């Protein structure tokens, strides 16, 4: 309802980025000249989205008619549920503020995470359902290895921090950013004055998480079941993996689900070797066998709980970034799995602390169980590094 000149001192009409729903322009606020990023929804995108949803629904019905063994109704259902929320930029603004609040609430437990995380601040007077105005946070894509090398940043540490950020969202907050592709996660040098110190207060870089339109809230029982599943997978305990898969709604397809979750073969999962780098032989084996499991995967995706669908998407995107950040010749262990285990142990422990009926004995057992898990993880990681 306003002209550009009413709100902004300067506005670059050429977008710095564009995607399917919106494009982003750089501007300066009229009130104080602060640089901002203005995300503007494409004209008439809501009407186009309705057509898209109709076409997708029609397509999945056609697939189901001609190929009854493939079940993709879940895809249309998820699109109908999530796309309208992504088109509401006020909802996106609230999501970004909520996730920042979540991290701040846990900053004492995970101080290293909050020190290297940046969520752009929302400018509310200049934000509506179709226009989102945020603090301008320029940076390079999280997969830009040239930027990291030029600024002496270790990609391995960046990969670890990204794993910590999303593990905290999934296992501690239960409020998860479900679209962490490289265009939505930037890395940049901290804009802080240099100070002489005898010790380091943390890395000189931070990760900027953008595009908060697509989130999934995890019910507590589901979040904890997912934590128990990951813990069992990383420990390679087949019996616990079976039980956890049933608890989370993945049925008896525990071998297939474990492979989908970790991007590793079942033989690697069952002997606890998923924390080592994937070999070329294993990659080739997965490529050869994957087409034969297409029907089983389609059936599996149709039956699992809806929160698990977006978690699998998030997991896949994070694994893809991790592979890019693993440079040739770097045989260090895949730390994301160790990080995930530590957060799973924390999630189970913290949930037990919230139980008002817990006895001192049960709390002691819970605390000792967490310590034992962390000790095992630390020893396992040390032995892998020693072997390397």
Catalytic residue among 179, 237, 252, 351: 179
Report how far residue 160's alpha carbon sits from residue 338's, in angstroms, rounded to the nearest whole number. Answer: 10
SS3 label, residue 66: helix
| Close Cβ partners of 366 (under 8 Å, ≥ 6 residues apart) | 348, 349, 352, 353, 358
- 52: annotated active-site residue: no
Report how far residue 132's alpha carbon sits from residue 314's, in angstroms, rounded to the nearest whole number. Answer: 24
47 contacts 71 by C-beta, under 8 angstroms: no
| Residue 208 to residues 47, 291, 299, 313, 351, Cα–Cα distance (Å) | 31, 37, 36, 20, 29
Q: What are phi and psi of 75, to 5 degrees?
A: -65, -45
92 contacts 119 by C-beta, under 8 angstroms: no
Angle value at C-alpha 265, between 259 and 269, nearest 5 degrees: 80
Return the HEC string of 341-361. HHHHHHHHHHHHHCCCCCCHH
Q: What are phi and psi of 375, to 5 degrees?
A: -65, -45
12 contacts 25 by C-beta, under 8 angstroms: yes
Concatenate the DSSP letters of all residues of 212-274 into one string: -S-EEEPPHHHHHHHHHHHHHHHHT-HHHHHHHHHHHT-TT-HHHHHHHHHTS-HHHHHTT-T
Residues forming the active site: 179
């Amino acid at each position: 309802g306003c002209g550009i000149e009413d709100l902004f001192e300067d506005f670059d009409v050429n977008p710095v980025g564009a995607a399917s729903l919106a494009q982003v322009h750089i501007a300066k606020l009229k009130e104080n000249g602060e640089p901002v990023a203005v995300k503007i929804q494409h004209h008439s995108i809501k009407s186009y989205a309705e057509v898209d949803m109709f076409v997708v629904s029609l397509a999945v019905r056609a697939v189901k008619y001609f190929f009854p063994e493939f079940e993709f109704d879940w895809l249309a259902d998820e699109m109908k549920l999530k796309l309208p929320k992504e088109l509401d930029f006020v909802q996106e603004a609230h999501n970004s503020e909520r996730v920042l609040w979540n991290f701040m609430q846990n900053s004492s437990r995970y101080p290293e995470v909050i020190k290297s995380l940046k969520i752009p601040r929302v400018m509310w007077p200049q934000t509506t359902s179709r226009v989102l105005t945020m603090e301008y946070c320029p940076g390079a894509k999280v997969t830009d290895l040239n930027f990291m090398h030029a600024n002496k940043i270790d990609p391995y540490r960046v990969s670890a921090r990204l794993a910590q950020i999303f593990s905290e969202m999934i296992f501690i907050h239960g409020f998860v950013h479900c679209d962490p592709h490289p265009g939505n996660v930037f890395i940049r040098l901290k804009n802080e004055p240099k100070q002489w110190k005898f010790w380091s207060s943390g890395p000189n870089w931070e990760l900027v998480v953008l595009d908060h339109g697509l989130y999934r809230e995890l019910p507590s029982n589901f979040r904890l079941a997912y934590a128990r599943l990951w813990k069992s997978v990383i420990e390679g305990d087949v019996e616990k993996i079976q039980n956890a898969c049933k608890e989370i709604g993945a049925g008896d397809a525990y071998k297939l689900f474990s492979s989908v979750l970790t991007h590793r073969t079942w033989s690697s999962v069952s002997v606890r070797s998923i924390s080592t780098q994937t070999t070329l032989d294993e990659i080739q084996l997965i490529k050869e066998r994957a087409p034969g499991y297409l029907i089983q995967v389609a059936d599996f995706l149709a039956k699992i709980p809806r929160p698990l669908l977006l978690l699998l998407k998030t997991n896949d995107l994070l694994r893809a970034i991790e592979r890019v950040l693993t440079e040739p010749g770097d045989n260090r262990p895949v730390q994301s799995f160790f990080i995930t285990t530590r957060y799973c142990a924390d999630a189970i422990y913290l949930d037990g602390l919230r139980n008002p009926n817990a006895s001192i004995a049960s709390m002691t057992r819970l605390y000792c169980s967490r310590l034992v898990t962390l000790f095992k993880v630390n020893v396992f990681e040390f032995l892998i590094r020693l072997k390397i």
